[in-house]
Amino acid sequence: MYKVAKLIFKPRVKSEEEILDKIDAILSMLYKNGQILDNWIVESRDKCYIANVITTDDDSLDSKYYNGYILKEVENFEIDTEIICDDPMATDSCHCDEHNYYILAIYPSENSSPIICGNCGKEISLIHIPYIYKEEEHYSILNFQRTYNAVDTLWMDSLSDRFTKRQIVDHNSQLNKIGMEICAELEMKLGKPVYYLLCNPIGGWFEFEKNNKNLTACPKCNGEFSKIDNAYADKVCHNCRLAFYTVDDGTQ
Ligand SMILES: [Zn+2]
Ligand SMILES: [Zn+2]
């Protein structure tokens, strides 16, 4: 379960401006490392600063998860952590020992981990996912999530925009290619299939019939789907490593 937590920074440097810059840098690094979610509030208290954050698990603020960037910056502070409570707005995260497969599923407007466990269907905290592309943080995955959400917002807010719709539904779009490349890279690191959730059909109420036609074959290879049992997808193409969610087209 995600947690509401406090990070208490006791500075070892003097200048207030320098302290605030460094705290902001550390929080950004913790986000890119999958240890906290985006968005935090910092309070100034007597001789210390307290950052109110959402962290991904009981132990996810532990220094054992720090990367090289964070280790270098934390030298300037004594840092205490305190878990306050479960995040009542969050869903539970995966605690399986094994994952038979994974799905990269960007769920619009979510900013927690987009990596879904194939066994329990819950998200896996990024602290338990290896870095990709020789990075020492989860920059590519989180950046892709932000870009995808930006495209999705544009689609939702400018309903007839063909460009944003194509980016989301077409497996050949630049956006989806980036997602599929991340899956291929993750698969190499994890040694298990990693599917990319292709949001086709796009669903929603706008032009209902046109946007709610479920596919009957894989749009990339025209091959047959295999059924899976997962909260995020109900069919996959094993060949293309694509996953799909059947929308309610109003016929049932
Ligand atoms: Zn799981
Ligand atoms: Zn296929």
For 102-114, how does the pLDDT look when each residue is reduced to its tens digit (9 = 90+)?
999 998 767 789 9
Ligand closest to the CA atom of residue 180: 2
Sign, Cα dihedral of 23, 28, 33, 34? positive
Q: For residues 107 and 58, state if they share a domain.
A: no
pLDDT at residue 152, as a whole number: 92
Q: For residues 171 and 239, state if they share a domain.
A: yes
Residues 6+ apart with CB under 8 A from 183: 104, 194, 195, 196, 241
Ligand closest to the CA atom of residue 102: 1
pLDDT at residue 15, as a whole number: 79
What band does 14 get if pLDDT is binned at 50, 70 and 90? confident
Going from the Cα of 96 to the center of ligand 1, the distance in angstroms, rounded, reads: 4
Going from the Cα of 120 to the center of ligand 1, the distance in angstroms, rounded, reads: 4
Going from the Cα of 230 to the center of ligand 2, the distance in angstroms, rounded, reads: 19
At 8, is the secondary structure helix, strand, or coil? Answer: strand
Ligand closest to the CA atom of residue 123: 1
pLDDT at residue 249, as a whole number: 79
Residue at a domain's end among 56, 86, 116: 86
Going from the Cα of 169 to the center of ligand 2, the distance in angstroms, rounded, reads: 14
At 149, is the secondary structure helix, strand, or coil? Answer: helix
Going from the Cα of 122 to the center of ligand 1, the distance in angstroms, rounded, reads: 6
- Is residue 165 in some structural domain? yes
Q: For residues 210 and 173, state if they share a domain.
A: yes
Q: For residues 181 and 115, state if they share a domain.
A: yes
pLDDT at residue 251, as a whole number: 67
* Residue 58 vs residue 7, higher pLDDT: 7
Distance CA 215, CA 209 (A): 13
Beta bridge pairs of residue 11 = 77
Going from the Cα of 213 to the center of ligand 2, the distance in angstroms, rounded, reads: 18
What band does 24 get if pLDDT is binned at 50, 70 and 90? very high
- Convert the pLDDT of each residue in 197-231 to its tens digit: 999 999 888 888 888 999 999 999 999 999 999 98
**C-alpha gyration radius of the chain:** 20
- Convert the pLDDT of each residue in 116-164 to its tens digit: 999 999 999 999 999 999 999 999 999 999 999 999 999 988 866 889 9
**Are the CB atoms for 201 and 214 separated by under 8 Å?**
yes
How many domains would you assign to the chain? 2
Going from the Cα of 45 to the center of ligand 1, the distance in angstroms, rounded, reads: 39
Residue at a domain's end among 35, 51, 86: 86
- Is residue 189 in some structural domain? yes
Going from the Cα of 238 to the center of ligand 2, the distance in angstroms, rounded, reads: 7
- Is residue 94 in some structural domain? no
Q: For residues 140 and 212, state if they share a domain.
A: yes
Q: For residues 129 and 174, state if they share a domain.
A: yes
Going from the Cα of 117 to the center of ligand 1, the distance in angstroms, rounded, reads: 5
Going from the Cα of 170 to the center of ligand 2, the distance in angstroms, rounded, reads: 13
Q: For residues 119 and 195, state if they share a domain.
A: yes
pLDDT at residue 252, as a whole number: 57
Going from the Cα of 16 to the center of ligand 1, the distance in angstroms, rounded, reads: 43
Q: Which domain holds residue 199?
A: 102-244
Going from the Cα of 129 to the center of ligand 1, the distance in angstroms, rounded, reads: 13
Beta bridge pairs of residue 50 = 8, 43
Distance CA 196, CA 188 (A): 14
Distance CA 187, CA 252 (A): 36
Q: Which amino acid is at 33?
A: N
Q: For residues 231 and 148, state if they share a domain.
A: yes
